Chains A and B, each alone.
Chain A
Amino acid sequence: MKLLVVEDNLNLLEAVHETMLLEKYLCEIAANYSDAHEKIFLYSYDIFIVDINLPGGSGLDLIREIKTVNPETGIIVISARNSLDNKLEGFDLGADDYVTKPFDMAELVARVKSLVRRRFFSGNNTVSNGGITINTTTREVWVMDREIGLTKSEFDILLFFFSNPGRVLTRESIAEHIWGDNMDLADSFDFIYSHIKNLRKKITEAGCSNPIRAVYGIGYKFEPE
């Protein structure tokens, strides 16, 4: 998987770059419009992560160009505008997904993985880890070959964990993953606590040891055996 990340803030670009390298992606970076423009025409990328506000041009123009040069590329838009504007604008241009700043790296990784699954593994949509198997299309979950029924949020949380094994997922990032901008974070923690409790219960009842570890005061971590 080859990625191109375009973001004008070097610190943020570096953080994304590091994260993507840790996830074993081939990741290239560009910090301005002309660099990105050049790279688009020289190489082909599977995933294109782009900030809308760039020095020297608009990320939206880059999306238009990559769509003509290489229509297969999956596109994730990074924007500082609120989600309402993105819904109107980003998808119109053919972006596959968007994240709003500030985002958690865990969230970005989950979005990239989800996009990769949708784009490049359309035939095989199952992922397995530690005795748990998820079909991302049919939203079915098997634990030790026994199917368990999860609610929508429980499924979303489990898939979020699957995309970020071994990484601490903060309660804030889980809340944003489920509700987007629609929940005030502080109020959502007890809901998340309930969701995680139920999820753990369903997994352990099916005969798997508890893979979700609480990180006190911060969040949760998915560590299957």
Chain B
Amino acid sequence: MNMKLIKRTYTYTALSLIPVIILGSLFCYYMIEYISYEETDEFLTYEMQRLVDYHKENNDLPQFHQVTDILPGVKYDMPTFRDTLILEPADNEMVPYRELFFTINHKGESQTLVLRHLLIGRDDIAEGTILIIAGLMILITSILYIIVNYMAGRIWTPFYKTLDRLIHFKISGPLPEFPETDIDEFKSLSTTLKTLLGKISADYRHNKEFSENSSHELQTHLAIIRATTEKLLNNPDAVPHAEELQKVYAASTKLSQVQKSLLLLSKINNREYSNAVRINFQYHVEQSLELFREAISIREIEVTSQLKPCFLVMDAGLAEIMTNNLIKNAVKHNIQQGNIAVTLDASSLIIENSGTDLPGNAETMLERFAKGEDGNIGIGLAIVKQICELYNFSISYIVSEQSLHKVTISFR
């Protein structure tokens, strides 16, 4: 479950308040009850003291209405408290009372006096408890809310800044500066990220430099081989060796093409084409069809296309490579008087073409160096697949029983 850090903090804080509420309520309840007894007992004790003093002074029992009861001949050694419930006739309800029994010696006879005072009812205590706890909770919650907000705003600021810089980090760009902080955890996060990004960035650069340098060296020397054989091919003295020269020439051409394709694959893999802009894919499909128009007419291929605007955010150069490779593939592996059907809408591109049967699984055609029937190595579709992976497009290649080749790319 995804949740914002601050929301989760609220949730956990709120959950941790539940035991506080339960324990707090119990504590509060018993505390009120205890204080209520304490106060009542204290009051009754003062009252007893007053009556005992009255008795000493006047040697007279108090008036009956001043005490609850006078029990002649009953003797308590010590003043004794007792709880009792008495029916309150007005409410028809049992009401708790506290009673104090104490004995005074009146004219040589033990007289036990009973004092009685109303206790706070349990329902009243519960009500009080609920009110107190509710009030407290409202207070605590609002204070916590303010504190959590303040903490998120203050303590987590460096974290959010770091996160923001990470999100906007581009591998070809400079390393991000992480905010200064005196919190150990964030400090070590920044240091670790710095090391990690530095390593990634260096790897990216090395990879880029390596492929560029090796490509430069390789292509330069291939250019020499080509220039030299080309020169010899134009030399009348070398005519007897024309066939061998042609082999050298063809091999060097092929090698340079393979290397260019591999370099392109490696660059796509290395995410060096990050210049994503909003493009109309329809335009690129139309351009590719135009590029191969003459080749299509030489093969007498019938093209049917249903193209609708399709806006994607991707590198324009890669879009061009993608459509060129796909259309090229459909033309190249076609048959004389065959057909090509291109369907493009906002969510998918489907290219169907007639062709020859393909032994084995058609999906392997999307792999690097998949061997076609004529022994040709195909990197074109591998490049398309790589571009699809880069942009999270899904691609499938199927060959039906009627030797109909179908490439489907869904942009999602």
- Chain A interface residues toward B at CB < 8 A: 9, 11-12, 15-16, 18-19, 53, 80-82, 84, 87-88, 100-106, 151-153, 167-168, 170, 172-173, 179, 181-188, 191, 194-195, 215-218
Can you list 8 A-B contacts with CB-CB less than 8 angstroms, sorted by A residue number?
A18-B231, A53-B213, A84-B264, A88-B275, A184-B328, A191-B294, A215-B233, A218-B249
Distance A194 CA – B332 CA, assembled complex (angstroms) = 15
- Taking a contact as CB atoms under 8 Å apart, the answer to whether A82 and B332 are in contact is no
Given contacts A88-B317, A187-B376, A218-B242, contact A12 B291 (CB under 8 A): no
What residues of chain B lie closer than 8 Å to A18, measured between beta carbons? 231
CB distance from B380 to the nearest CB of A (A): 7
Q: In the complex the two chains form, what is the Cα distance from A18 to B224 in whole Å?
A: 13
* Across-interface contacts of B264 in A (CB, < 8 A): 82, 84
Nearest 9 pairs of A and B residues by beta carbon: A102-B223, A101-B219, A15-B227, A80-B219, A80-B216, A102-B222, A84-B317, A102-B226, A101-B223
> Which positions in B face A, CB cutoff 8 Å?
212-213, 215-228, 230-231, 233-234, 242-243, 245-246, 249-250, 252-254, 256-257, 260, 263-264, 267, 273, 275, 291, 294-295, 298, 317-318, 320-321, 324, 328, 332, 374, 376, 380
Most-contacted residue by chain A among B230, B245, B321 (CB, 10 A): B230
Selected contact of B234 from candidates A15, A168, A186, A187, CB within 8 Å: A168
CA distance A53 to B12 in the complex (A): 60
CB pair A104 B226 closer than 8 Å: yes
Q: In the complex, what residues of B have CB within 8 A of residue A12's CB?
A: 220, 223-224, 227
Q: How far is the CA of A19 from the CA of B275 in the complex (A)?
A: 39
Q: In this complex, what residue of B is CB-closest to A166?
A: B234
Chain B residues with CB under 8 A of A16? 227
Query: In the complex, A16 Cα to B246 Cα: how many Å?
Result: 20
| A218 B233 Cβ-Cβ under 8 A | yes
Task: Tell me the bound Cα distance from A182 to B294 in angstroms.
Answer: 14
Contacts of B216 in A (CB 8 A): 53, 80-81, 101
Contacts of A100 in B (CB 8 A): 219, 260
Complex Cα gap A172–B376 (Å): 16
Please name the residue on chain A nearest to B220 by beta carbon.
A9
Our pick among A19, A153, A167, A185 for the contact of B254 (Cβ within 8 Å) is A185
Given A84-B320, A184-B376, A187-B376, 7 more contacts at CB 8 Å? A9-B221, A80-B220, A104-B226, A172-B253, A184-B380, A188-B295, A217-B242
CA distance A87 to B227 in the complex (A): 24
Tell me the complex Cα distance, A195–B234, Å: 23
Q: Which residues from chain A contact B267 at a C-beta distance below 8 Å?
A: 82
- Measured CA separation A194–B300 after assembly (Å): 12
Q: Are B328 and A183 in contact (CB under 8 A)?
A: yes
Task: A186 to B373: give the CA distance in the assembly, Å.
Answer: 14
Tell me if B231 and A15 are in contact (CB < 8 A): yes
Residues of B within 8 Å of A152, CB to CB, are 294
Of chain B, the residue at the smallest CB distance from A191 is B295
- Of A19, A168, A179, A186, which is within 8 A of B233 by CB? A168
> Smallest distance from the beta carbon of A64 to chain B beta carbons, Å?
20
Closest chain B residue, CB of each to CB of A15: B227
Contact in complex: B324, A182 (CB < 8 Å): yes
Q: Which residues of A contact B321 (CB under 8 A)?
A: 84
| Bound: A100/B217 CA distance, A | 13
Instruction: Report A-chain residues with C-beta under 8 Å of the C-beta of B275.
Output: 88
The answer to whether A172 touches B250, judged by C-beta atoms less than 8 angstroms apart, is yes
Point out the residue from A167, A185, A215 that lies within 8 Å of B257, measured CB to CB: A185
| Cα–Cα, bound, A167→B233 (Å) | 9
- Bound together, the chains give a CA A151 to CA B320 distance in angstroms of 23
Whole-angstrom distance between the alpha carbons of A80 and B221 in the complex? 10
**Given B221, B228, B249, B260, which contacts A181 in the complex, CB threshold below 8 Å?**
B260
Q: Which residue of A lies closest to B324 (CB)?
A: A182
Interchain CB contact (< 8 A) of A170 among B249, B318, B320, B324: B249
Q: Which of A87, A101, A168, A173 has the most CB of B within 10 A?
A: A101
CA distance A151 to B332 in the complex (A): 20
Which residues of the other chain, B, contact A188 by a CB distance below 8 angstroms? 295
For B253, what are the chain A residues with a Cβ–Cβ distance below 8 Å?
102, 172, 185
Residue of A nearest to B226 (CB): A102
Q: Taking CB as reference atom, which chain A residue is nearest B293?
A: A152
Q: Are B298 and A102 in contact (CB under 8 A)?
A: no
| Chain B residues, Cβ within 8 Å of A81 | 212, 215-216, 263
For B239, the closest partner residue in chain A by CB is A215
